[in-house]
Amino acid sequence: MRHFIKETDFTVGEMAAVFATAADMKRERSQGTEKRAHLEGQSWGLLFFKKSTRTRVSFQVGVHELGGQPVMLNAEELQLSRGETTADTARVLSRYLHGLVIRCYAHSVLEEVSRLGTLPVVNALSDYLHPCQIYTDFFTLAERWSGGDVKRYLESLKGRKIAFLGDTACNMANSFILGGAHLGVEIALAGPANYAPQAEIREELSRSGLVPSWRFTQDPIEAARGADMVYTDVWTSMGMEAERAERLSQMQPYQVNAAVMRAAKVGAYFMHCLPAHVGEEVTQEVLDSPASIIFDQAENRLHVQKAILAHLSTHGLTQT
């Protein structure tokens, strides 16, 4: 039994297989010819502790299109909200379901369910990591940088520079740090000193035996200079609303705007995992610019996550 809780749960070879399958699924879906049944006869739970648009819809549609039955589970509507333990919930759901997709706050929830349950677990987001998003982001860039050659997807990412501005201690920044080291992508992070990457992600790299490929600066232009892609995320994530005023004050210099994009490489892309708070972490001008590929990025969540589910299913994929 396999889980997908962090970026390194799949080898680089398995990641290449996931990307190749995602590309096939995307093409077949656009042609109306997709007939894959990796989850046929299976029921997959979607356990959500946080509100969601892209994650919920893409996984629900994805499970259905793979021949499975998606079972929506709102944590507030389960006995979890009345004190049932995560351990007991994991054991019970394992008796009903074939797999479980979890979108939560504490990363420990994913770790506990994967340890005590007897079904595959997928991290649809935690406050620590967002691996489905980072795989999607790298896939979206590889589509362009490889010239459409699936065999060159991962090769096209190596040596590239990605700039991430804002809260560089957030889950997306952590996922870029871990995913970048996994693939040999340079990650330049810029934000306030008290929102720099934390010890936990540094220790994760060490445990994984990866060579760090990231650096941190408080200068947004320095981080963006020569970048192949510029990325940002909301400055105040769910559960951090009490910090909003302080975060807005400290992170204003790290807004992605025209000046930041001019510092990046000519032809650089802009990405955002959405939803965006226009006028805070990014300007409308950048969101609407030709550099912005945010909606291709959002669409690709469906294709990449379907490929991840297929890889974890009993049918699996062939590693390349």
Q: What residues are annotated to the active site? A: 103, 130, 133, 233, 273, 301
Alpha helices in 167-312 (DSSP H): 171-183, 199-208, 220-224, 244-251, 258-263, 284-287, 294-312
The distance from CA 222 to its chain's CA centroid, rounded to whole angstroms, is 25
Maximum alpha-carbon separation in the chain: 54
Q: With CA atoms as reference, report the closest residue to 317 among 43, 142, 64, 306.
A: 306
Q: Environment class of residue 270 by beta-carbon count within 10 Å: exposed (0-12), middle (13-18) or buried (19+)?
A: buried
Contact 250, 195 (CB under 8 A): yes
CA distances from 126 to 147, 237, 282 (A): 33, 11, 23
Detail the DSSP E strand segments found in 226-295: 229-232, 269-272
* Cβ partners under 8 Å of residue 176, min gap 6: 134, 162, 164, 187, 189, 214, 231
Q: Amino acid identity of 131?
A: P
CA angle 195, 200, 205 (to 5 degrees): 115
CA dihedral 218, 180, 106, 132 (to 10 degrees): 130
CA-atom Rg of the chain in angstroms:
19
- Beta-strand pair 121-125/161-165: unpaired
Indicate the angle between helix axes 171-183 and 199-208, nearest 10 degrees: 30
The residue ranges of DSSP E strands in 104-225, in sequence order, are: 121-125, 161-165, 186-190, 214-217
